[in-house]
Amino acid sequence: MPTLEDYKGETPAWCPGCGNFAILKTFKDAMLELGIEPYQFTMVSGIGQAAKFPHYIRCNTFNGLHGRALPVATGIRLANHEMPVIVATGDGDCYGEGGNHLIHSIRRNINVKLFVHDNQIYGLTKGQPSPTSMEGMVTKNQPFGVFSEQLNPMALAIALDCSFVARGFAGDIEQLKLLIKAAIQHKGFSLLDILQPCVTFNKINTYEWYKQRVYHIEPEYDPEDRVEAFRRALEWGERIPTGIIYKNNRPVLEERIPILKGAPLVRQPFDRSKLQATLKEFY
Amino acid sequence: MDYTIKIGGEAGQGIQTVGDTLARVFSRSGYHVFTNQDYESRVRGGHNFFQIRVSDEPVMAPREKVDILVAFDKESISQHAKELTEQGQIVYDSSSIGAIPHSETDTPNLLDIPFAKLAVDHGGSRIMANTVATGAILGMLKMSTEILNDIISDTFRKKGEDVIKANIDAAAAGHDFAVKNCLACLLMPADVTKAKMLLTTIEAIGFGAIASGCKFYAAYPMTPSTGIMNYLAGKEMEYGIVVEQAEDEIAAINMALGASFAGVRAMTGTAGGGFALMVEGLSLAAMTETPVVIALGQRPAPATGLPTRTEQGDLLFPIFTSHGEFPRAVFAPGTPEQAFYLTNKAFELAEKYQIQAIIIFDQYLADAEWTYEGFDLDKITFHDYRVRGDRLNALQEYKRHAYTATGVSPLGIPGESKHLVVTDSDEHSEEGHIIEDAETRVKMVHKRLFRKLPLIKKEMSPPFLYGDSHPEIVITGWGSTYGVMKEAVDLLSKGMKIAMLHFSEIYPFPETEKFDYLSLLENARMTICIENNAGGQFAKLMRAETGYEFTAKINKYDGRPFILEGLTGEIDAHFRRL
């Protein structure tokens, strides 16, 4: 069995007090409890503060380009559908630069776990608004405040019939651990949006701001009721729900591709014996 | 014997089906065939044509003169009647496109065949008019319908015996009508018997990928590359290939990189516009040293350009596009045969050096069908350069980007051993983690660029020389001009000492050690660089890489390929100025 020490990665370069530390700690605890060893899974990330996450834990890693983690993760899953693939991303990386990939990954229902560290701001480039920044937020490059409507990732995902939609909070690691484990264990594309205070650049959505608003979705709530889930996803402002908002049992892409019924593609041998017959088809 | 048959009509009238079928009949009968297509970017209407050249000698370029013009629309006659030879014939159905008075065309040889009526009378449906036309053309050539009947049986197998019989009857009706009524039937020599293979460069690239062990192909549809995705999708079950249509070209290349990282041979394909979107991913592949093969189909640009037409406008683009500096391999096959073997070489080099190998072609080459006696599968190499399972596990330690003498680090598979496989688009350590220090940066640049590049350069084959061994005139080209240049040399060699240099392995630019092509050029009186583009991109590359400057250039940039007579005329004009 692995120990917590086995997951210890490089030293994080995040700001002291960053919500990412809590997510990192909770993620390691969750992986330990699930018994998934570092060599057994792959993390894919893009660019942003969250995208450095895979370096701070021991695991197979593909740290690619801004916004492009999901297609890389899709390629990895299609080549090896026995390997858990987890994407660590942020609100700018995933909802901004990578928006198109998010939409189509949800549609495909590739069995990838998407953890969005949502701090409602760009941290790495020092304080520009992100797609989830609230309307009116004043930043250096938006002196009149953000004009655009705030993106609602939960509602977007439910509209696309995403297989698993949940929201956690970096200030509530007990629930967060449950959500991380539930997302990984769910069969299908899983979106876990994690509210994560940026202590340096976001002076609006602070720990205090979130703590006054977040509440656990009540246990009797039925996450398979899509219309009710959509209603719940629209809640934002005075009260912000956390927990599993929506899930379904849509078939997973990897299971629908006939040639992936058996061994993963990476372990399927290349059979050259048919080439002569294929050549004959040209006559 | 060297005949050209041109089938013209609107999109949706089935000219490609007629053309493909005839080409297959000729190749199975043992003739040499070359076909090319010209079509508009629309699904219905407009004017398109499919041109077949058939001969008892190898043919590899379109000719200007047409022997049989099959007109499915009036436009075919107004546009192409002038291309007919003196004995050339127009075949059409006056009930479909109206009677053509002799005054409208110079040719006296108008053959009105009631395709539609014969289809109804003998096949039972007007839908078989194209089958009647196909049979009629074979009748005009005094060929039997035996092979056509085989093809009909194969094509309609799933539709049942009745449909097969109706089509065979329709073909016979067209054939018999033409035999009775044709004004100047053409004679086909009968002493060719050995069936030949017939394929396009698109198919050759697809088959080459399969033969190289490609397991994953992700792409977004874009002319003229889409056929590769279609071909591979048809082979998914047989060969265990996953073909995924991506949401855009950015996703396509990133998916291919993910699959390659996970341990399978992966490829993507696109046209120039899509490749522009892939450039970010190309540099990601370079930084993470992830092998990938990219097929790039050129078409006239900038922007959307002429989407279904041809140009060699993207030579320098794949060679030089990048943010940052990294090696890559660029191939430009000139024939389906070259495309087959070079696709294999692209996969081998991509994995051996953990680089990106790009195969460039163009619309003209993509769609053109060529005949061959066969391909030699023994010439296909397959070496698995990845470090898998037990081999990986046996290593004391594993660093994905370890420094080595060749710059090539062991390419491990994630999840197959306790060793972690870590890579990063940031500059990284040997272990694959983000670094900032200058010393590591310099070492990594040496590893990726300076160590690998000379080794890759040594792998590139020199250009192919054809014609006079001490030529006065050397025509030089790359990619799709191979066939037309080679035939031009054949035609012109009676009057001049001429040779062709054809480059299909473009970058890193081949050395002169194996073949001193620079001396050949320097010793010639005239050297002409022939390119299907406006700017003379290969001429610029040659000058940049070797300092050599061609004495003349022939460029064509109207979105159409070189035609044999047009090219020989231009070369001859240059020769006369000597």
Report pLDDT for B100: 82
Q: How far is A276 from chain B (nearest CA, A)?
A: 8
Q: What average pLDDT does range B103-115 have in this prediction?
A: 80
CA nearest to A77 within chain B: B259
For the stretch B389-438, pLDDT in tens is 999 999 999 999 999 999 999 999 999 999 999 999 999 999 999 999 99
Express as a percent the part of chain B with pLDDT over 90: 92
CA nearest to B231 within chain A: A278
| Residues B301 and B311: beta-carbon distance below 8 Å | yes
| Residues A132 and A144: beta-carbon distance below 8 Å | no
How many residues are recorded in chain A? 283
**Residue written as tokens 């160590």?**
B451
Q: How far apart are CA B250 and CA B2, in angstroms?
A: 46
pLDDT at residue B108 greater than cutoff 80: no
Would you call A265 and B242 a contact, using CB atoms and an 8 Å cutoff? yes
Report pLDDT for B578: 85
What is the band of B133 on the pLDDT scale with cuts at 50, 70, 90? Answer: very high
Q: Which positions in chain B touch A268 (Cβ < 8 Å)?
A: 215, 240
Express as a percent the part of chain A with pLDDT over 90: 98
| Residues A127 and A80: beta-carbon distance below 8 Å | no
Eight-class DSSP state of A170: T
Report pLDDT for A1: 80
Report pLDDT for B186: 76
Q: How far is A155 from chain B (nearest CA, A)?
A: 21
The DSSP H or E segment spanning B110 is: strand B110-112
**Complex ipTM over 0.90:** yes
Pairing of strands B197-200, B369-372: antiparallel
Which of B203, B255, B420 is opposite residue A60, by nearest beta carbon? B420
Report pLDDT for B191: 64
Q: Which positions in chain A touch B285 (Cβ < 8 Å)?
A: none
Report pLDDT for B193: 73
Would you call A71 and B195 a contact, using CB atoms and an 8 Å cutoff? no
User: B325: which 2 tokens?
Assistant: 């500096």
Residue A18: count of CB within 10 angstroms of its CB:
22
Show the low-confidence residues of chain A (pLDDT under 70).
none
| Residues A160 and A103: beta-carbon distance below 8 Å | yes
pLDDT at residue B190 greater than cutoff 70: no
* Sequence-distant (≥ 6) Cβ neighbours of residue A7 within 8 angstroms: A28, A31, A32, A38, A57, A58, A59
| Residues B539 and B477: beta-carbon distance below 8 Å | no
For every residue of B438-476, DSSP letters joined together read: HHHHHHHHIIIIIIHHHHHHHHSPPPEEEE-SS-SEEEE
Would you call B251 and A76 a contact, using CB atoms and an 8 Å cutoff? no
Would you call B375 and A266 a contact, using CB atoms and an 8 Å cutoff? no
Q: What average pLDDT does range B528-553 have in this prediction?
A: 98
User: B201: which 2 tokens?
Assistant: 């460069």
Would you call A52 and B434 a contact, using CB atoms and an 8 Å cutoff? yes
What is the band of B192 on the pLDDT scale with cuts at 50, 70, 90? Answer: low
Helix axis angle for B15-28 and B146-155, nearest 10°, is 130
What are the b/e assignments for B154-175, b being 16+ CB within 10 Å?
A: ebbeeeeeebbbbbbbbbbbbb
Dihedral sign, Cα of residue A151, residue A153, residue A158, residue A161:
positive
Which of B197, B236, B251 is opposite residue A282, by nearest beta carbon? B197
Q: Which amino acid makes up residue B262?
A: A
The pTM of the whole model exceeds 0.95: yes
Q: In what order do the strands lie in the sheet with A164-169?
A: A214-216, A240-247, A164-169, A190-195, A113-118, A85-90, A42-45, A60-63, B422-424
Q: Which of A210, A39, A192 is nearest to A134 (CA)?
A: A210
- CA B381 from chain centre, in angstroms, equals 21
Eight-class DSSP state of A218: P
Q: Judge if the upstream peptide bond of residue A16 is cis by omega within 30 degrees of 0.
A: no
Q: How far apart are CA B6 and CA A249, in angstroms?
A: 55
Q: Which positions in chain B touch A282 (Cβ < 8 Å)?
A: 197-199, 203, 207
Q: Which positions in chain B touch A52 (Cβ < 8 Å)?
A: 434
- Dump strand ranges (E) for B224-280: 242-245, 265-271
Q: How far is A57 from chain B (nearest CA, A)?
A: 11
Partner residues linked to B337 by β-bridges: none
What is the band of B103 on the pLDDT scale with cuts at 50, 70, 90? Answer: low
pLDDT at residue B104 greater than cutoff 70: no
Q: Which positions in chain B touch A270 (Cβ < 8 Å)?
A: 213, 215, 239-240, 382
Q: Which positions in chain A touch B264 (Cβ < 8 Å)?
A: 79, 265-266
| Residues A49 and A6: beta-carbon distance below 8 Å | no
Would you call A265 and B215 a contact, using CB atoms and an 8 Å cutoff? yes
User: B30: which 2 tokens?
Assistant: 């043992």
Which of B255, B290, B417 should one mutate to test binding to chain A, selecting the residue with the greatest count of A CBs within 10 A? B255
Q: Which of A214-218, B94-98, B260-264, B310-314 has the lowest mean pLDDT?
A: B94-98
Rounded to 10 degrees, what is the CA torsion of A125, A129, A132, A134? Answer: 150
| Residues A8 and A25: beta-carbon distance below 8 Å | no
Size of interface A-B (CB pairs under 8 A): 189
Angle (CA) B29 B33 B36, round 5°: 140
Report pLDDT for B107: 64
For the stretch A192-202, pLDDT in tens is 999 999 999 99
| Residues B47 and B73: beta-carbon distance below 8 Å | yes
Which of A73, A271, A279 is opposite residue B377, by nearest beta carbon? A279
B49 φ, ψ to 5°?
-145, 160
Give the burial class of B253: count Cβ atoms within 10 A of its Cβ; 0-12 exposed, 13-18 middle, 19 or more buried: buried
Q: Which amino acid makes up residue B75?
A: E
